[in-house]
Amino acid sequence: MKDKEYERLKDPCLHPPGGWVWRDPETTKVVVGGHFRALVDMAIRSRNFNKIDIPQGFEHIIEHDICRRLSDRFVTNRTSKLDKEILSRHQVDTKTDTLLRAWVKAGRRLVTHEKSKERSAICQHCTRNAKLGCLSCKGIDRYLLNWLGHNRRTGYEDLLGGCDVTGCYAMVMVHLKLDDIPLVGGTPDICWRKKELMEAADERHE
């Protein structure tokens, strides 16, 4: 890709919605930085550690990927229209509160702690796991665990954001029974929900 084909941030000093977060397609790991330059440095260190080549224009590649999840007001040199903008924290807060209130009315059912950890391990690598900044820094993880129980920590809380399929916090969904999670389309093949729904369907037909 030529320089003129990269999308650019209008103001690299302006903190974008979701924070300075980038998922490296080569390692599938999420890289986080306090500002754009720090994010690029962390991405370079991660690739060096994993002995992966750093392509020419790596900084522009990262910037372009970030731009592809931001609205036009943050971006210049837009190359193609976005199909869907990044989830906002307000949207996820609202949908998750609705989910939790329905879950309480349904009896506060939870899967085993072991299953919630297995689900979390899958969610952290999912491309539909939309990072929404540091949930710990803003106290969001503590608020959500007040509903679920602080003994339900999986250790993945800092790696999980909003599920771009359901619009809810992934760190909540991983603890709930399938029947208590909104049934929506567009679930990627990696998703534990897709696998568990198929298993449940097979059991009903046996």
Q: What SS3 state is found at 76?
A: strand
pLDDT at 1: 55
Instruction: Measure the CA–CA gap between 129 and 151, rounded to whole angstroms.
Output: 23
Tell whether 82 is covered by a domain: no
Instruction: Measure the CA–CA gap between 144 and 97, rounded to whole angstroms.
Output: 9
Tell whether 120 is covered by a domain: yes
Per-residue pLDDT of the chain (206 residues; tens, 9 = 90+): 555 688 999 998 888 876 788 888 888 777 888 899 999 999 999 999 999 999 999 999 999 988 887 878 889 988 887 655 566 777 899 999 999 999 999 999 999 999 999 999 999 888 888 877 778 777 888 999 999 999 999 999 988 989 988 999 999 999 999 999 988 877 888 899 989 988 877 776 66
Burial of 46 (0-12, 13-18, 19+ CB in 10 A): middle
Q: Identify the domain boundary among 28, 48, 76.
A: 76
Q: Are 145 and 67 part of one and the same domain?
A: no
Query: Could you write out the three-class secondary structure of 11-70?
Result: CCCCCCCCCEEEECCCCCCEEEECCHHHHHHHHHHHHHHCCCCCCCCHHHHHHHHHHCCC
pLDDT at 115: 96
Strand 30-33, strand 162-163: pairing = unpaired
Q: Are 116 and 72 part of one and the same domain?
A: no
Give the domain extent around 150.
89-205
Q: Are 68 and 121 part of one and the same domain?
A: no
Q: Are 102 and 150 part of one and the same domain?
A: yes
Q: Are 28 and 129 part of one and the same domain?
A: no
Q: Identify the domain boundary among 76, 97, 114.
A: 76
Instruction: Measure the CA–CA gap between 118 and 157, rounded to whole angstroms.
Output: 13
Instruction: Measure the CA–CA gap between 130 and 87, rounded to whole angstroms.
Output: 7
Q: How many domains does the chain have?
A: 2
The dihedral region occupied by 151, where left means phi > 0, alpha psi between -120 and 50, and beta the remainder, is alpha
First vs last C-alpha separation in the chain = 52
Tell whether 84 is covered by a domain: no
Instruction: Measure the CA–CA gap between 23 and 31, rounded to whole angstroms.
Output: 6
pLDDT at 86: 61
Q: Are 172 and 116 part of one and the same domain?
A: yes
Tell whether 42 is covered by a domain: yes
Q: Are 193 and 96 part of one and the same domain?
A: yes
